Amino acid sequence: MDPFVTLTASAVPLDIANIDTDQLLPARFLKKPRSAGYGNFLLHDERKLGFPLDDPAYAGARVLVTDRNFGCGSSREGAVYALVDGGFRCVVAPSFGDIFAANAAKNGLLTITLPEETVAELRRQLQEAPGVAVTVDLPAQTLTGPDGQPLPFAIDPFKKECLIEGLDDVALTLRLQDAIDAFDRADAEARPWLVPGA
């Protein structure tokens, strides 16, 4: 996955609480291959006239600033795919569904948890100045909003390391390739009858 170090990009506010994974990517689209572009189906059934994600003023936004309990519901990794394929690298909310947040980190999507009143104020600023950029500095653990005020956020150190280095679960496993190869060689010597074709 692409490393996440710093990001300066426009942000889109979404004043909806309790957005679940079925809203993020309705189940009927899961039968399509991801190559079809899950971003095309992001919040498909929620989009009505005037929906912020369809507002040209927020076109190209890479940060989503939303309300509490974002990504609740089932453990649908496709919900994260829809956000990532839709161009988002960061979601800011007062709280997240636990499984969604774990899936997000494994796919290069940073979730930032800030106090509810802080997030509400950030959304207000974004609504007053559509298309304005925010800056996320992951090493410094700060989000700087339209008012220039850096907002510190907490993140698990392991999750932070994986995002900065662009390490998904496969890449983490491959870091142990030398140890895996050494084990395979030793095991083949100790139990040659298990080696295919031996």
Report how far residue 40's alpha carbon sits from residue 42's, in angstroms, rounded to the nearest whole number.
Answer: 6
Pull the structure tokens for residue 162. 């994986």
Q: What is the pLDDT of residue 198?
A: 65
Sheet strands (E) in the chain:
6-13, 63-65, 90-93, 110-113, 133-137, 142-144, 150-152
For residue 81, CA distances in Å to 20, 33, 139, 160 come to 14, 11, 24, 19
Indicate the pTM of the whole model: 0.89
pLDDT digits (tens, 9 = 90+) for 13-41: 999 999 999 999 999 999 999 988 999 99
pLDDT digits (tens, 9 = 90+) for 70-81: 999 988 999 999
Mean pLDDT, the chain, integer: 94
Q: What is the DSSP letter of 13?
A: E
Q: What dihedral angle (degrees, nearest 10) is formed by the CA atoms of 112, 116, 122, 128? A: 140
